[in-house]
Amino acid sequence: MNERIKPYDEKMKKAIDFLETDYATIRAGRANPHVLDKLRVDYYGTPTPIQQVGNVTVPEARIIQIAPWEKSLLKEIEKAILTSDIGINPSNDGSVIRLVFPELTEERRKDLAKEVKKKAEDGKVAIRNIRRDGNDAFKKLVKTDVSEDEVKSLEEELQKLTDKYIKDIDGLMEAKTKEIMTV
């Protein structure tokens, strides 16, 4: 791979990684501890991820259990979950918090599938913006010491990279949509 293409390849990889992380937080009927990734708990005045203040486990397919290392954190964790967009009420038995995920309705599955598609489109736009930035940078090279043929070759290589990552996004979107729509 050409050295001038590398930075754009790295940016596109980051866009794909971001999309994968985003998809991990979308719940698909099964309990997935990643839905808690964005939540922060006030731990002695510092916003801290739930995974760092307690043990997060999945004892059954539709239950997440959070066992905080300090009992005083139960209320804070509960508050963080209630104010989040997870949409599940935590149950607290005095030592652990349980999140029971209900079966998704058909309508909710379709809404989630639309959300997955929208995130994929956003990812594609990000990839295309990176391509545009690259092409603009390559066009400026013509004014310096690079021939127009080299610039054309760089643009073609960047386009192939763009096509590859767009295809990757489509694959991620199909896999996540299938996961959501599977009952």
Q: pLDDT tens digit string along 47-72? A: 888 888 889 898 888 888 999 988 88
At 108 the pLDDT is: 83
At 15 the pLDDT is: 94
Q: pLDDT tens digit string along 122-140? A: 999 999 999 999 999 888 8
**150 falls within a domain:** yes
By DSSP bridging, strand 91-92 and strand 46-49 are unpaired
Same-domain status, 92 and 122: no
The contacts of residue 161 (CB under 8 Å, 6+ apart) are 5, 8, 9, 12, 131
CATH code at position 164: 1.10.132.20
Same-domain status, 72 and 119: no
At 183 the pLDDT is: 63
**16 falls within a domain:** yes
At 121 the pLDDT is: 96
User: And the tokens for 31?
Assistant: 């309990």
Q: pLDDT tens digit string along 155-178? A: 999 999 999 999 999 999 999 998
- 3-state percent helix, strand, coil for the chain, nearest multiple of 5: 60, 15, 25
If 0-12 CB within 10 Å is exposed, 13-18 middle and 19+ buried, where does residue 34 land? Answer: middle
Please answer whether residues 121 and 128 qualify as being in contact, where contact means their C-beta atoms are separated by less than 8 angstroms. no
> Which range marks the domain in which residue 141 is found?
6-24+105-181
- In the DSSP assignment, the letter for residue 24 is H
**Which amino acid does the sequence have at 62?**
R
Name the domain count of the chain: 2
pTM of the model: 0.71
Q: Of 65, 100, 135, at which residue does a domain stop?
A: 100
The β-bridge partners of 67 are 55
Please answer whether residues 73 and 43 qualify as being in contact, where contact means their C-beta atoms are separated by less than 8 angstroms. yes
Same-domain status, 132 and 163: yes
Same-domain status, 137 and 88: no
Of all residues in the chain, the percent with pLDDT exceeding 70 is 98
**What is the arithmetic mean of pLDDT over 86-105?**
84
**1 falls within a domain:** no
Q: State how far the alpha carbon of 159 is from the alpha carbons of 90, 130, 132, 149, 179, in Å.
A: 47, 11, 10, 15, 30
What's the whole-number average pLDDT of the chain? 87
Of 120 and 87, the structure prediction assigns the larger pLDDT to 120
Angle at 82 between CA 79 and CA 87, to 5 degrees: 160
Q: E strand or H helix at 125, and its extent?
A: helix 106-141
